């Protein structure tokens, strides 16, 4: 008798095939993550500007501040990418909900 174990990773979401999806809840979840990542973009951008300012004011440690500025820029880009990803996940969830409820998309072009 073997039991099947499901391991849920941090970023891997598995849907149960026999359970109906709660599309509104899933859409709200993606919207929440999108907004959090947008806040991350703003925070990382602000920190990068702060470090740029410190590099100008503290020439003795300018190299350290430039490196931290670049790290903040990379974090802002990463958070922006995650926001973009969640935005599309939210749209996909909405499309799945409409298709599940019989609404059809008519593409004219």
Q: pLDDT digits over 1-46, tens only?
A: 455 555 545 555 555 544 557 888 999 999 999 999 999 999 999 9
**pLDDT for 44-79, tens place per residue?**
999 999 999 999 999 999 999 999 999 999 999 999
Residue 18: per-residue pLDDT: 47
DSSP letter at 5 equals -
What pLDDT is attached to residue 20?
Answer: 57
Of 1 and 102, which is predicted with more confidence?
Answer: 102
**What tokens does 58 get?**
């503290």
96 vs 6, more confident: 96
Per-residue model confidence (pLDDT) at position 43? 97
45: left (phi over 0), alpha (psi -120 to 50) or beta: alpha
pTM: 0.70
In SS3 terms, 14-68 reads as CCCCCCCCCHHHHHHHHHHHHHHHHHHHHHHHHHHHHHHHHHHHCHHHHHHHHHH
Are 48 and 76 contacting, i.e. CB atoms less than 8 angstroms apart? Answer: yes
Q: What is the pLDDT of residue 99?
A: 83
């Amino acid at each position: 008798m073997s039991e099947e174990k499901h391991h849920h990773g941090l970023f891997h979401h598995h849907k149960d095939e026999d359970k109906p999806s709660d599309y509104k809840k899933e859409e709200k979840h993606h919207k929440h993550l999108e907004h959090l990542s947008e806040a991350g973009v703003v925070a990382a951008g602000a920190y990068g500007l702060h470090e740029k300012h410190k590099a100008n004011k503290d020439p003795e440690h300018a190299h350290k501040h430039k490196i931290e500025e670049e790290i903040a820029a990379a974090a802002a880009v990463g958070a922006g990418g995650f926001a973009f990803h969640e935005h599309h996940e939210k749209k996909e969830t909405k499309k799945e909900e409409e298709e599940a409820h019989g609404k059809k998309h008519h593409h004219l072009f």
